[in-house]
Amino acid sequence: MRSNHLEVRPLASAVGAEIGGVDLSADLPDGLIADLKGALARHGVIVFRDQILSEDQHIAAARRFGDININRFFATADGHPEIALVVKEPEQTVNIGGGWHTDHSYDAEPALGSMLFAREVPPIGGDTMFASMYAAYDALSDGLKETLSGMRAVHSSRHVFGTVREGLKGRIGNAELATQDAVHPVTIVHPESGLKALYVNPGFTVRFDGWTVEESAPLLGYLYRHAARPEFTCRLQWRNGSLAFWDNRSTWHYALNDYQGERRLMHRITIEGGPLH
Ligand code: SIN
């Protein structure tokens, strides 16, 4: 992977790195974009600090990494359907993304990742946790790796977006579009890094393919507890102007909801991915 020309400071041993010296509003050379793709594939989430980005500049930066997925459930920024709003107002108590999940695993071709830009963060709290599914996979026993290698799992959007929770009305909608189910391998080979990753998540995976929900629950429960082990995670403290770009194929994320009475406004652009194997 070509990340040797970048200023890369890992956030933890398993996942996450801060990238220095990159201004995402600039017209970045192709070589640097290739290095950033390499750093993303390796670290799972890359973080850029002190960025000053208009909506159009955020969109232009995202387009360097792939086509943009127009989100069908989230409210979007005025005049910019490419930008999903991840917002919580001071009077709202429910946040978006407040549990471990991988975005879009319910799609047949799950999104590559998202670029989340912090426009207004609370003075304390509102951090995001990330977990490495490379590390989770690596730490499984050979026996369980072998068992999982032949298995597939069913992922769904219905139970999450099919009924909009009272506390999310106005921010999440289009419940009638929550018709997606998809079946993916339980362990995948990451398309860029070639590394193996665990690919089930508590947000959207409903059962193993060919198994009932009840039969699946004990093994899925074990995998979820295992994958969320603290040593596989990092915790990102946001500042206004921070941008995190995470890889949905190799990480989970979890938005902490510990800032009641404060506003948090993030702009999210999701990049299209491809089939998983
Ligand atoms: C998300 O799950 O996409 C939101 C993450 C966050 O707000 O930190």
Residues 147-197: pLDDT tens digits?
Answer: 999 999 999 987 877 777 788 888 877 788 878 899 999 999 999 999 999
In the prediction, which pLDDT does 179 show? 80
Give the ligand 1 atom nearest the CA of 97. Answer: 2
- Ligand 1, atom 7: closest residue by C-alpha: 255
> Percent of the chain at pLDDT above 70?
99
Residue 2 pLDDT grade (very low, low, confident, very high; cuts 50, 70, 90): very low
Catalytic one of 101, 171, 249, 264: 101
Decide if pLDDT at 83 tops 70.
Answer: yes
**Sign of the C-alpha dihedral computed for residues 93, 69, 73 and 15 taken in this order:** negative
The answer, yes or no, to whether any atom of ligand 1 lies below 6 A from the CB of 268, is yes
Residue 4 pLDDT grade (very low, low, confident, very high; cuts 50, 70, 90): low
Give the ligand 1 atom nearest the CA of 236. Answer: 8
253 is catalytic: yes
Over residues 221-266, the pLDDT tens digits come to 999 999 999 999 999 999 999 999 999 999 999 999 999 999 999 9
Helices in the chain by DSSP H: which ranges? 30-43, 55-63, 133-138, 142-149, 158-161, 213-227
Decide if pLDDT at 205 tops 80.
Answer: yes
Of 27-41, 85-99, 161-175, give the lowest mean pLDDT range: 161-175
Cα(54) to centroid(ligand 1), Å: 20
> Could you tell me which of 8, 45, 1, 59 has the C-alpha nearest to residue 247?
45
Cα 24 to Cα 40: distance, rounded to the nearest angstrom: 15
φ/ψ of residue 21, rounded to 5:
75, 20
| Structural domain boundaries in the chain | 2-271
Contact 186, 152 (CB under 8 A): yes
- In whole numbers, what is the pLDDT of the chain averaged over residues? 95
The answer, yes or no, to whether any atom of ligand 1 lies below 6 A from the CB of 121, is no
Tokens at 101, concatenated: 């999940």
Cα(235) to centroid(ligand 1), Å: 13
Q: Which residues contact 44 (CB under 8 A, 6 or more apart)?
A: 15, 16, 130, 132, 133, 134, 246, 247, 250, 251
Q: Taking CA 130 as the corner, what is the angle to CA 129 and CA 135, rounded to the nearest 5 degrees?
A: 140
The answer, yes or no, to whether any atom of ligand 1 lies below 6 A from the CB of 111, is no
Best residue among 71, 121, 128 to mutate for probing ligand 1, ranked by most atoms within 8 Å of CB: 128
Catalytic one of 35, 43, 58, 103: 103
Give the ligand 1 atom nearest the CA of 128. Answer: 8
What is the CATH superfamily name and number for domain 2-271? Clavaminate synthase-like (3.60.130.10)
Cα 152 to Cα 156: distance, rounded to the nearest angstrom: 13
- Ligand 1, atom 5: closest residue by C-alpha: 255
Instruction: Compute the average pLDDT of residues 203-210.
Output: 97
Cα(93) to centroid(ligand 1), Å: 15
Cα 12 to Cα 235: distance, rounded to the nearest angstrom: 9
Contact 74, 86 (CB under 8 A): yes
Tokens at 175, concatenated: 């419940």
Give the ligand 1 atom nearest the CA of 264. Answer: 7
